[in-house]
Amino acid sequence: MTIQTKNYSYVRNKLLNKEEIGFLDVREEDPHAQEHPLFAANLPLSRVEVDAYAKLPKKNVPIITLDDGEGFAQLAAGRLINLGFTDVSVFEGGVKGWKAAGGEVFKDVNVPSKSFGEFVESKRHTPSLSAQEVKQLIDSKEDVVVVDVRRFDEYNTMSIPTGISVPGAELVLRLPELAPNPKTKVIVNCAGRTRSIIGTQSLINAGIPNEVNALRNGTIGWTLAGQELDKGQSRKFQEVSEATKNDAAERARSVADRAGVKRASLADTQKWQAQSERTTYFFDTRTPEEYEAGHLPGFRSVPGGQLVQETEMVAPVRGARVVLVDPSGGGVRANMPASWLAQMAWDVYVLDGVTLSDLTEKGIWKTPLPALPALDTVDAATVSNWLKTDSNTVAIDFSTHANYVKGHIPGGWYALRSQLAQAMKKIPQVDRYIVTSSPSELSLFAAQELQALTNAEVLILEGGNAAWVKAGLELEKGPSHLASPPLDRYKRPYEGTNVDPAAMQAYLDWEFGLVEQLGKDGTHHFWVL
Packing angle of the helix pair 242-258, 332-343 (nearest 10 deg) = 20
pLDDT of residue 1: 77
Identical fold, 5-109 and 259-358: yes
Residue 236 is given by DSSP the state B
Label the pairing between strands 164-165 and 63-66: unpaired
The residues spanned by each domain of the chain are: 5-109, 116-240, 259-358, 377-470
Task: Answer whether 198's CB lies under 8 Å from 308's CB.
Answer: yes
Ranges of residues in the chain with a pLDDT under 50 are none
Q: Quick one: which H or E segment has residue 74?
A: helix 72-82
pLDDT of residue 492: 81
Those residues whose C-beta lies under 8 Å from the C-beta of residue 403, and which sit 6 or more positions away, are 438, 465
Superfamily of domain 259-358: Rhodanese-like domain (3.40.250.10)
pLDDT of residue 163: 97
Q: Nearest CA to 39 among 60, 69, 8?
A: 8
**Burial label, 259 (beta-carbon count in 10 A; 0-12, 13-18, 19+):** buried
5-109 to CATH, choices 3.40.250.10, 3.40.50.720, 3.20.20.70, 3.40.50.300: 3.40.250.10
pLDDT of residue 122: 95
pLDDT of residue 54: 97
377-470 to CATH, choices 3.40.640.10, 3.10.180.10, 3.40.250.10, 3.40.50.300: 3.40.250.10
Fold exhibited by the domain 116-240: Oxidized Rhodanese; domain 1 (3.40.250)
The tens digit of pLDDT for each residue in 311-365 reads 999 999 999 999 999 999 899 999 999 999 999 999 999 999 999 899 999 999 9
